[in-house]
């Protein structure tokens, strides 16, 4: 029988795969409509969201392990630190993409938003 932690790992793996598929589809749409650079920009934005989901998954698994060892405060700290890390990482990756790599802003943001919406939808359906 699958434990709650195993189910969570399995479901988040499925969600991240779905995010990557949608990210590639969004990039393909930008490629067909605008060209390769916009496709790269959209893919980069989607990858930012997927990386954020990976870090969330890692943090939840670590916090779950801490709670199983009766270290509830450690679990909370891990979750809060993970949220802060994800926030800063998203800002840094957007900064790198837009300022240094000179990616197309609209494609980058739309790639991020689309893949993030996939995460939210899939996570919501996972609750039910």
Query: 98-123 pLDDT, tens per residue?
Result: 999 999 999 999 999 999 999 899 87
CA-CA distance, 99 to 57, in Å (whole number)?
Answer: 28
pLDDT > 90 fraction of the chain, expressed in percent and rounded: 56
CB atoms within 10 A of CB 115: 29
pLDDT (0 to 100) of residue 1: 47
pLDDT (0 to 100) of residue 72: 67
CA-CA distance, 111 to 22, in Å (whole number)?
Answer: 9
pLDDT (0 to 100) of residue 67: 67
CA-CA distance, 38 to 54, in Å (whole number)?
Answer: 24
**What's the half-sphere exposure (Cβ side, CA atoms, 13 Å) at 65?**
8
The pTM assigned to this predicted structure is 0.88
For 78-100, what is each residue's pLDDT tens digit? 888 889 999 999 999 999 999 99
Average pLDDT over residues 28-45: 97
């Amino acid at each position: 029988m699958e434990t709650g932690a195993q189910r969570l790992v399995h479901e988040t793996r499925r969600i991240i795969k779905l995010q990557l598929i949608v990210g590639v589809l969004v990039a393909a749409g930008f490629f067909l409509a605008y060209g390769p650079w916009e496709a790269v920009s959209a893919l980069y934005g989607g990858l930012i969201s997927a990386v954020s989901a990976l870090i969330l998954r890692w943090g939840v698994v670590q916090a779950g392990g801490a709670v199983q060892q009766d270290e509830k405060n450690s679990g909370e700290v891990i979750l809060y630190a993970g949220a802060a890390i994800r926030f800063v990482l998203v800002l840094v990756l957007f900064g790198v993409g837009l300022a240094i790599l000179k990616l197309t802003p609209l494609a980058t943001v739309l790639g991020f938003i689309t893949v993030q919406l996939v995460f939210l939808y899939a996570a919501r359906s996972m609750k039910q």
